Every structure is written in C-alpha cells, then in structure tokens.
Amino acid sequence: MNSSGDVPAPYTLRDYALLADGERGALVGPRGDIVWMCAPAWDSDAVFAALIGGPGWYTVTPAEPFVHGGYYEQGGLIWRSRGITTGGIVECREALAVPGDPHRVTVLRRVMAVDGDARVGVRLYPAAGFGRRPLSEPRRDEEGRWTGRAGELYVRFTGAPGAEPAGPDHPGLHAELRLAAGTHHDLVLELSDRPLPAPEPADRLWRATGTGWAARVPDLRGALGVRDARHAYAVLSGMSGPGGGTVAAATTSLPERAEEGRNYDYRYVWIRDQAYIGQSAAATGPYELLDGSLRFVTERLIEHGPGLAPAYTATGGPVPDQRTLDLPGYPGGFDVVGNRVNRQFQLDVFGESLLLIAAGVRHDRIGAEAWRAALIAAFSR
C-alpha cells in the first residue's frame, strides 16, 4: 500500500490472516491491509473488496520500509501484524469484536510501538455493494470520531481525529499516527445496517473479545498437536453463527487452481460439511460445535424434508443465484457471487445427516426434534 491510495496488491492466499466473530469474516494481508469483509453478514455484499480487484480496503501500515510478519494469539482469532522497520518493531493487534452482533461489525486495531518510536499510515476506504457505494460525506464530531454512510451502512471511525478526507478516486480517510516507544493507540471501526448505538471504549471491547475467545476455545489437552487443534477449533467457532451453521469460507471467487474456471462463492453452509464438523467435535469434545451442527441440520430437515438442499445461508435461507460483479477478480480467478448449488439435489446429504445425528445419540445430545429429523432423512429418496 502506498500513499497515493492505489488498490493494495494481491498476495498468495496463504499470506492472509482470517479475523471472524461468527457473523462475518475479514482477511488481513501481510502489509496490514484488510482487503475483504462483507457486512453485516457472511453473504452480504463486501464493503472491502480489494481482494478481488474492487474498491474498498482498510490499511494500517508502517510508514518506513519494513519486513512483515505476524502470528495468532493462542486460543482465538486475534492476529498480530508485525513490521520490523529500520528503526524498530511495530505491531498491530487485530480482531473483530466478540461477541458478534448480527447487525454491526466492529473492527479493533491496536497499534503498538514495541521497540522504538513508530510512524504508521492509516488508509480507510469503505465501499459497500462490492465497491459501488463508497464512503459519502464523512464528518468529524466534537469527540474526534468520524461518521458517514457507505450505501445502506452506517460508518463510525474512532481513534483518528487528525484524519483527512482522501481524494475523489478513492473516497475515504487517511491519517498518520506517531507513537512513542512502548505506547499504543486504538482504532475502532464500526459498520452497521442500523443506526449505531453509543460508542464503547476500546479497552472494554478488547476485554470482552479476549474473554469471549477464552470461553469459546477449549484447552483440548487430549488432542494430538494441541496448538494446531485449538487454532482449528477457533477457526470453526469463528465461522459458526448463532444458528449453528458454519460457512465454508469467508470469501468468494478465489480460484481452486489458477485459470481452471473453478471459482465459487463458498460463503454458505453445506449440509455435508456441517455433518463432518459435528462428527469431528463429537470425537474430541467439548460439544458446542456438535450441538450447533445438530441444530442447524435438524431445522433444515424438518423445514424442507425430502427437498433438503445441499447448502443454505448461515441463517438457513436459500443460496442466491450466481451472478458476476464486473470486477477484475483475484489473479487466476474471476468475480462471482451466489452459487448454482441452489438448483441441485444431492442424495448424500441425507446419509451425512444420519451420521451426524448418530454422533449426537452417542453423546446424549439430541431430543425429539432430532429423532423426527432422523426419520425424515431415513425415508427420503
């Protein structure tokens, strides 16, 4: 990312970190650039779409030349972007606030001058509707908070009172932060499809987020590779909504193989995958992910019976039809949202559902509704 406001260049997919709160996810690149996030929900239009060549990104980047790195804090999806500059070390602690709100996403970024003074550039260019609706008329209130609208989304940005509106090519805000060695500075971005409530202090949001992840991710001491197992559990938890459904991905249009035409929208819950997740949780415990999987699949079976679809939105709704966005796409891919799976029938989902319910039976996690769903699955053909 440079000071001209050019769209952040893409990186290899493995170089991005995932932030998630159960309601939506964001991808952070190695130069501190959030280049993908849908709001308010997993399958909403993206407000940061630079990953697939669209407008919309949010960067927090050392202003000096630096070598990038990063790591997850154990037991959650709190990421630390790390830049080693010619003058010291800068970190940015990053998370989506937990617990997630279905109408409001809160992006927490805490910049820390770990070693030496730090100078950091901030570029915020929200653009709802996959880039069609950029930030309009940002205003700074008496407390130094910026507010505005991006399409139907309400925007509030706290922590950069000295920011300035950017140029017409990429409407948004840009700022430079200067931190003394050993200090930190908080940035809080809120996006909502409803009028925003009163702001909360960053310290309180960080405490709630740390406490929330500690409660969600078990120690898994009996697993092989405890650290990896806990991180896998955190990813699944972060991608699972209150209804129990776990989306297959936070993103769309990323190629399985470059130029092979296999670019799909995976921001939905596949019944097959949900059954596998529940069975995995049954094998290890604790059983929150198993309970969520059972709840989601049971409700879909009872609602749709023999017409059970292969996939649903995270709230149990139908997957929308596939369409293109007129964006360049990630290199080797192209720009599609929606999925033609909504027109398919896949017989195996009934067998996978029965295996999931059987796992619930073994751990005494099912009730009358699940037994009813099992009968529906067993006699559907």
Residue type, 186: D
DSSP string, 286-325: --HHHHHHHHHHHHHHHHHGGG--SEE-TTSPPPPPPEE-
- Is residue 165 one of the residues assigned to a domain? yes
pLDDT band, residue 4 (cuts 50/70/90): very low
Number of domains composing the chain: 2
DSSP string, 102-123: SSEEEEEEEEEEEES-EEEEEE
Examine the domain organization and report whether 190 and 254 are in the same domain: no
The CATH number of residue 93's host domain is 2.70.98.40
- Is residue 8 one of the residues assigned to a domain? no
The backbone region for 188, taken as left when phi is positive above 0, alpha when psi lies in -120 to 50, beta otherwise, is beta
Examine the domain organization and report whether 151 and 205 are in the same domain: yes
pLDDT band, residue 224 (cuts 50/70/90): confident
Domain enclosing residue 267, as ranges? 240-378
332 versus 153: the higher-pLDDT residue is 153
Average confidence score pLDDT of the chain: 94
| Sheet containing 104-115: order of strands | 66-72, 79-85, 89-96, 104-115, 184-192, 153-158, 146-150, 133-140, 127-128
pLDDT band, residue 3 (cuts 50/70/90): very low
- Is residue 187 one of the residues assigned to a domain? yes
Residue 133, pLDDT > 80, answer: yes
Examine the domain organization and report whether 60 and 206 are in the same domain: yes
Kindly report, residue by residue over 93-130, the tens digit of the pLDDT: 999 999 999 999 999 999 999 999 999 999 999 999 99
- Is residue 283 one of the residues assigned to a domain? yes
Kindly provide the b/e burial profile for residues 108-119, where b requires at least 16 CB atoms within 10 angstroms of the residue's own CB: bbbbbbbeeebe
- Is residue 225 one of the residues assigned to a domain? no
Examine the domain organization and report whether 296 and 185 are in the same domain: no
For residue 169, the cross-strand partners are none
Examine the domain organization and report whether 191 and 269 are in the same domain: no
What is the per-residue pLDDT for 2? Answer: 37
- Is residue 298 one of the residues assigned to a domain? yes
Examine the domain organization and report whether 248 and 359 are in the same domain: yes
- Is residue 87 one of the residues assigned to a domain? yes
Determine the 3-state secondary structure of 53 from DSSP.
coil
What is the per-residue pLDDT for 381? Answer: 65
Kindly provide the b/e burial profile for residues 46-83, where b requires at least 16 CB atoms within 10 angstroms of the residue's own CB: bbbbbbbbbbbbbbbbbbeebebebebeebbbbbbbbb
What is the per-residue pLDDT for 285? Answer: 82
Kindly report, residue by residue over 292-314, the tens digit of the pLDDT: 999 999 999 999 999 999 999 99
Examine the domain organization and report whether 185 and 273 are in the same domain: no
